[in-house]
Structure 1
Amino acid sequence: MSFRSILHDMKEELGSISRKGFDVKLGHGFRSKSQRVVQDNFVVIDAFKQSCWANMPPELLRDVLMRIETSESTWPPRRNVVACAGVCRSWRETTKEIVKTPELSGKLTFPISVKQPGSRDTLIQCYIKRHRGSQTYYLFLGLSSASYDDGKFLLAAKKCRRPTCTDYIISMNPEYVSKGSSAYIGKLRSNFLGTKFTIYDTQPSNAGAKMTRSRSTRLVGSKQIAPRAPAGNYHVAHIAYELNVLGSRGPRKMQCVMDTIPASAIEPGGLAPTQTEFVNNNVDSFPSISFFRSKSIRVDNCQSEAIPIRKEGMLCLRNKAPRWHEQLQCWCLNFNGRVTVASVKNFQLVASREDGSEHESVILQFGKVGKDVFTMDYQYPISAFQAFAICLSSFDTKIACE
């Protein structure tokens, strides 16, 4: 029996259960919930226990899921792996054990994959589409060398201008990009000049992560104003663009200090924090603060924090210095065919050592290939979320940098 036949039988089995009166819901995040029905003799029966797929022997189940995971290596066929995780609890647990993190497999399967470090061996190829009218940006997983193909959607961002700063709201929902959405996972905030940025995450990447309060964390008593909004912001990275006060010729110069990734992560055997699941924020665990604030406090919240040149023991990324091409009369970088249009936004980031030297391997590269299409390739130790946020900083207007 082929794998497609097995999946077809699964759908028929679930359909028959639904027709018998059971309500089966497979939600975002690959959770399954079955309503229990009380019979005349008051015996509670789980709908999935009546399914032959839930009672499959563990050895056989593991063998079937391993074959499906191996054969469906790219999207959209890889959605079959996700469908298997939504059948029942036993299927979900087995699938989670089989599917490896992007660090080991180079594959983005579940939603949590966008928060996990990329592959150690190769760059994961993605691209960003910009919609100028709505000021939104969409990140897709590139499925082929053609950057214009519709790939697997990963993240969306929306630009929000404020009097003293600019926010980029990042969400996993392409249709509703807002802090009030349950799909909101973080943001990028700039200073007034657009030269300094701070990346915030709604989830702590490690036990020692520090939370920073903002207007989205205001509480009234013990209740949050926006119940679905995350209860705090955690620092992920600080980005700084070098000021070009003399107006000299040359590309932008940027530096990115990763607050959550140690410098040792890029060394052989080094490890970066890997988030395994989304954590539900507990509103009651945060103390209440005053609802009304003065105007000066609200303005201060929009100011970007002072960005250190380098944090002790933290990973520091710098843009790779381009070379001047005499014949073309332009600055050039080798993007290995992934970038085709010259732009001041194009960059490559490499890790910087404490002695000032640089690693040769490119951790993140971003460049233009069309009017509103840009490629984004990243690898370990940063995640798709972190790479996307760093690339968003390049879109922002920089008054004093060029």
Structure 2
Amino acid sequence: MPFSSMIQEMKGEIGAISRRGLLRSRSQSTGRVQRVEPDEAAMRESSWAQVPPELLRVVLAKVEAGEARWPGRGAVVACAGVCRGWRGTVKEIVPVPEASGKLTFPISLKQPGPRDAPVKCFIRRNRATQSYFLCLGVTDALVDDGKFLLAARKYRRPSCTEYLISLDSKGNGTYLGKLRSNFLGTKFTVYDAHPPCAGAVVSKGPSAHMIGSAQVSPMKGGPPAGNYPVSHISYEVNVLGSRGPRKMNCVMDSIPASAIKEGGTAPTQTEFPSSNSSSFASVPFFRSKSGQLDSSGAQNESKVALKNKSPSWHQQLQCWCLNFHGRVTVASVKNFQLVASGESAPTPSNQEDDDVILQFGKVGKDLFTMDYRYPISAFQAFAICLSSFDTKIGCE
């Protein structure tokens, strides 16, 4: 039987089980329809739920290995939705992006990117709605239809600008975090709605005011959205108006400097926190690559610091140039490449040989590429790139 037919059959069977559970709740209630979880007994009777574990693992491993790109990778997600047993097996089989370079589940957007090669994405800007959409490239082309990953919506305040980031393509739900600027647009803070690492402290200042508003909603089934600072971005003020590209620095508050040293690991969230625990911040849903819970003592370590790679002046073209390896085609003050700086740099080397952790650049009107790699996540990379869109008084 073709795998696509198997998936359709599984969806139909699970849907039938859900409908039976709904009808049973309707008959037991006083005329009011209640939404309930599918009946566990019916789930256990499902032929798909009774597949021998050894055979199930072999089949799911082949599915995972055979679907490397979207939209085919949706089959892996469909397998995880069959029943609880299948979901647990799929979670064990699917590697994190750091090891595989694949983005499969929503939590993958909060996990560090691959070490060997960057994840190639692009950002579409909608000027009319002040919205930004992060998509994953699904072909080898510079841009394509893409797989939607994240959305951001811009809100102007009297003293700052905020970009609310969510999993919803409409940008008004399933809140994941935000970017907040100062009045001049020269300093930015990235906030995560969930604890990014062990010992993370929630911000209780003015930046928390927007979280409880009707414009965003926390993850379904999760705890109330918080405000955990994960990054600070600063642009050098250019009051004299001298020629040249912007100069930016970024400190990753949730990533220790040791993460990019040889043998180092970055904190990795393994699942979104559950609302079942009253103290969700202490639940070990973030682990290192070794599987050991990250120590809260890491909060005292120095953090990963990034700086923009200095471009060189091209005499013939009469412009500042960086080698984007064909991923950027339009000159713009927004274009940048970030590399490790200071203590974060793995080894002293020629700047041309420095590993680019994040690069962002223009390829068309309202279309930009974004490539990122370890130790930052898609969420962190997207937030940093959003800071480049904001108006910066005194920087140009």
Q: 1:119 to 1:355 in 2, by over 3 A?
A: closer
TM-superposition CA deviations, 1:28-56 (whole Å, max 9, x none): xxxxx7433xxxxxxxx622112110011
Q: SS in structure 2 opposite 1:260?
A: strand
Q: SS in structure 1 opposite 2:356?
A: strand
Matched, 1:202 2:193: yes
TM-score by length of 2: 0.83
1:71 counterpart residue number: 66
1:228-377 mapped onto 2 (5 Å cutoff):
228-229=217-218, 230-280=224-274, 313-354=302-343, 360-377=354-371
TM-superposed deviation, 1:231? 4.4
Residue 96 of structure 2 is aligned with which of 93, 97, 101?
101
> 2:11 is aligned with what amino acid?
K
CA distance in 1, matches of 2:11, 2:379: 33
CA distance in 2, matches of 1:48, 1:315: 47
Matched, 1:51 2:46: yes
CA distance in 2, matches of 1:278, 1:102: 16
Q: 1:355 to 1:3 in 2, by over 3 A?
A: closer
> 2:361 is aligned with what amino acid?
G
TM-superposition CA deviations, 1:249-289 (whole Å, max 9, x none): 10000000000101111112111010011113589769xxx
Give the conservation status (yes or no) of the 8 Å contact 2:234–2:249. yes
TM-score by length of 1: 0.82
Q: 1:319 to 1:216 in 2, by over 3 A?
A: closer
CA distance in 2, matches of 1:35, 1:79: 22
Give the conservation status (yes or no) of the 8 Å contact 1:231–1:283. no
> 1:10 is aligned with what amino acid?
M
TM-superposed deviation, 1:23? 4.5
TM-superposed deviation, 1:147? 3.7
> 1:197 is aligned with what amino acid?
F
CA distance in 2, matches of 1:394, 1:18: 46
CA distance in 2, matches of 1:281, 1:255: 36
Q: SS in structure 1 opposite 2:269?
A: coil
CA distance in 2, matches of 1:347, 1:225: 33
Paired positions, count: 354
Matched, 1:192 2:186: no
CA distance in 2, matches of 1:231, 1:17: 32
TM-superposition CA deviations, 1:132-170 (whole Å, max 9, x none): 010000000011233442111110000100111000000
Give the conservation status (yes or no) of the 8 Å contact 2:150–2:165. yes
Q: Percent identity?
A: 63
Q: SS in structure 2 opposite 1:361?
A: coil
Is there any run of 5+ residues in structure 1 with no aligned partner, and where?
Answer: 25-32, 37-44, 287-310
CA distance in 1, matches of 2:274, 2:391: 35
2:119 counterpart residue number: 124
Matched, 1:11 2:11: yes
Give the conservation status (yes or no) of the 8 Å contact 1:34–1:47. no
TM-superposed deviation, 1:17? 3.9
Q: 1:362 to 1:217 in 2, by over 3 A?
A: closer
1:291 counterpart residue number: none
Matched, 1:392 2:383: no
More deviation, 113-122/224-233 = 224-233
Q: 1:231 to 1:131 in 2, by over 3 A?
A: closer
CA distance in 1, matches of 2:145, 2:14: 30
CA distance in 1, matches of 2:333, 2:194: 32
Is there any run of 5+ residues in structure 2 with no aligned partner, and where?
Answer: 24-35, 219-223, 281-299
